[in-house]
Amino acid sequence: MFAAARDSGLQLSRGEYAVVTDRQTGLVQYRITLPVRGAYTQVRAFVAAALKAVPALALDELTFERRSISETQVEARIRLTLYLRPAS
């Protein structure tokens, strides 16, 4: 994901991470929330590259906010979940 961000021209400086285990399926969900700032096309390119690179990654939420109409940069909030099987 860091390579996808770098290739898209974005910097992942911080994020929120949580691990949840689904008791019914046994799958481990690694929930990732990333706030990023950049051009709309950079954010979309990052999300597409990350999803392509990591097949077990799912996009849960993608929100954009622009402070003013003349801004060329957007504030984006990307929420992803990485699904993993626990080690045996």
Percentage of the chain lying above the pLDDT 90 cut: 70
Q: What's the confidence (pLDDT) of residue 49?
A: 96
* Cβ 61 vs Cβ 83: under 8 Å: no
* Averaged pLDDT, 51-65: 96
Residue 20: half-sphere exposure toward Cβ, Cα within 13 Å: 10
* Averaged pLDDT, 40-69: 95
Q: What is the pTM of this model?
A: 0.86
DSSP H or E run through 82: strand 74-84
Question: What phi and psi, each to the nearest 5 degrees, are found at residue 35?
Answer: -90, 130
Q: What's the confidence (pLDDT) of residue 85?
A: 85
Domains identified in the chain and CATH numbers: 2-84 (3.30.70.60)
Residue 50 CA to residue 76 CA, distance in Å, equals 15
Residue 9 CA to residue 27 CA, distance in Å, equals 32
**Residue 34's pLDDT band (cuts 50, 70, 90):** very high
Question: pLDDT (tens digit, 9 = 90+) per residue, 63-87?
Answer: 999 989 899 999 999 999 999 987 7
Q: What's the confidence (pLDDT) of residue 87?
A: 73
